[in-house]
Chain A
Amino acid sequence: MKKEKIIEGFLFACAAITLLTTIGIIWVLLSQSFSFFKEVSVWDFLTDTQWTPLFADKHFGILPLLTGTLLITVIAMLVALPLGLTIAIYLNEYAPKGFRKVVKPLLEVLAAVPTVVYGFFALVVVTPMLQKLIPGLSGFNALSPGIVMGIMIIPFISSLSEDALYSVPKSLREASYGMGATRLQTAFRVLLPSASSGILASIILAFSRAIGETMIVAIAAGQQPRLTLDPTVPIETITAYIVQVSLGDVPHGSLEYRTIFSAGLALFVFTFLLNNISFWINKKYRQEYE
């Protein structure tokens, strides 16, 4: 009996630690941001179009960092979504069983490569290649890290979507084939809609991963906060800014230092909203089978 109690207590402690960590993070973000917002108005933070806390003429508009983050994430998703879904459909519908067994884990290796390697790859391989195609492409830009990040998150989409497609009942597939549908028609008209909730989950995960990705953008995107949707010029993302300040010689406790918490809070709210929206979409549009 006593042993049971100890184990129970241990399990509770494990659960409590994760919960407390989350609460701790939110607490730090909120409290530090609170003192930041005592000096900078929330209105300025949300509407100012410049982010120059480290310069003499200080502006604290989060928009350039936010658009930078979004720009890179959208580029990454434009790469990862079509490729990931195509791979998922191919593996599920067309590939021989043995091939699927080998290729799926191999693809997942893509997600296990250290991100600093990707960052370096973007900077010294992809950017020079792109510069040959796009004259005038800056050495630091959003396009190259966006594409590389897209490749990195392919397995999130391909693997999880493939799992979702795999779990669609065989009976629905046969119903579709039985009426003269091709494999492609079956994939697009029956399997994708039926697996939509699982696929959406994979997209959310990939999206969150892309938004939070730091190393690739810190290395290859440049560190110039700029309100633009032009992918050929240097930009900065929220995460890259946080790295920049954390590694720099900004004094602890200063206003400049606290900007990283307000930026972090903005990132947190942003991903939180995205997660909730997708959860809501999922709930509203998911197609149940059985």
Chain B
Amino acid sequence: MENGNIKIETKNINAFYGEKKVLHNIDLQMEANTVTAFIGPSGCGKSTFLRLLNRMNDYIDGFRKEGDVLINGVDIYSKNTRIEELRKQVGMVFQKPNPFPKTIYENVVYGLRIQGIKDKQKLDAAVENSLKRSALWNEVKDDLQKNALSLSGGQQQRLCIARTLAVEPSIILMDEPASALDPISTAKIEELIYELKQDYTIVIVTHNMHQAGRVSDKTAFFLSGDLVEYNDTKAIFTSPKDQRTENYITGKFG
């Protein structure tokens, strides 16, 4: 590795749905403890690329990829990689809040229970810890046994983040985590992302350019399956090098 800080690295990634090629030769390096934002219009391949990083595309019929994805310098698509171990390392928060139809408590400890952890004290501690980190603790601490679906959309999404944190990953992938939320909830999630980057490497896909500008250190602009430009967020938004990037961020299309 040329740089000890590189957490995620992709080499010559091509991806296909059946015959259709959706990603072309993506080379990207993401540093530890930074927030990287993927922006671009719908269908540009940014979500597909994100889901490559924890092998979430594996179960999709007809999906195929070429090239390597390295996390901590290790090829995550090699035969020796256990996919479950990988996903404990690389957590994911989805576009629509998707809590399980279980209690708040059971949602948070889900990842621990599947690892076989039964120690009540450990589980309790993980619940309190994770909910505090996701800034939900004060709102739900008195009714942890309530069904998670009774929470508001914004609370549900923070619960999903708590659930992901409980597994103690080092990377968190977020696929438009605030697109289904109201502005206040969105602001809370963004604040949270800012807090979390102290301890985690975060990759976030977003439609919202202002959001990318607010939360991320680096920004990658995707268009039709190509990585057009990747740079410090400030540079992308103030002095884009590529004309297409400029057109997109100034709202000429997309």
Contacts and interface: CB of A to CB of B under 8 A. Distances in A.
B98 A174 contact: yes
Interface of B: 54, 56, 59, 61, 84-88, 91-92, 94, 96, 98-102, 110-111, 113-115, 149, 160, 163-164, 167
Contacts, number: 70
A171 B96 contact: yes
Nearest to B51: A174
A7 interface: no
Instruction: Please provide the 4 A-B residue pairs with the shortest distance between their CB atoms, ordered closest to farther.
Output: A179-B111, A171-B98, A287-B101, A178-B92
Contacts of B111: 179-181
Interface of A: 97, 169, 171-172, 174-182, 185, 189-190, 193-194, 287-289
Contact of A180 (B98, B100, B114, B149): B114
Instruction: Give the secondary structure class of A's interface.
Output: helix
B112 to A, nearest CB: 9
19 contacts: A169-B98, A171-B96, A172-B100, A174-B92, A174-B94, A174-B98, A175-B160, A177-B59, A177-B87, A178-B87, A178-B164, A179-B87, A179-B91, A179-B110, A179-B114, A180-B86, A181-B84, A287-B101, A288-B101
A175 B114 contact: no
Contacts of A190: 100
A289 B102 CA distance: 10
B56 A177 contact: yes
A287 to B, nearest CB: 4
A287 B164 CA distance: 22
Nearest to B61: A97
A289 B84 CA distance: 25
A114 B204 CA distance: 58
A176 B54 CA distance: 13
Contacts of A97: 61
Contacts of B61: 97
Nearest to B166: A179
A179 B98 contact: no
A182 B86 CA distance: 12
B54 A178 contact: yes
Given A172-B98, A175-B163, A194-B100, 12 more contacts: A172-B101, A177-B87, A178-B92, A180-B87, A180-B115, A180-B167, A181-B111, A181-B114, A193-B102, A194-B101, A287-B101, A288-B149
B87 A193 contact: no
A230 to B, nearest CB: 40
Nearest to A289: B101
Nearest to B58: A177
B145 to A, nearest CB: 14
Contacts of B160: 175
Given A185-B114, A189-B114, A179 B100 contact: no
A180 B168 CA distance: 11
A185 to B, nearest CB: 5
B130 to A, nearest CB: 12
A194 B110 CA distance: 15
B94 A171 contact: yes
Contacts of A174: 56, 92, 94, 98
A176 B110 contact: yes
Nearest to A287: B101
Contacts of B54: 178
A182 B84 contact: yes
Contacts of B91: 178-179
A175 B87 contact: no
A90 to B, nearest CB: 15
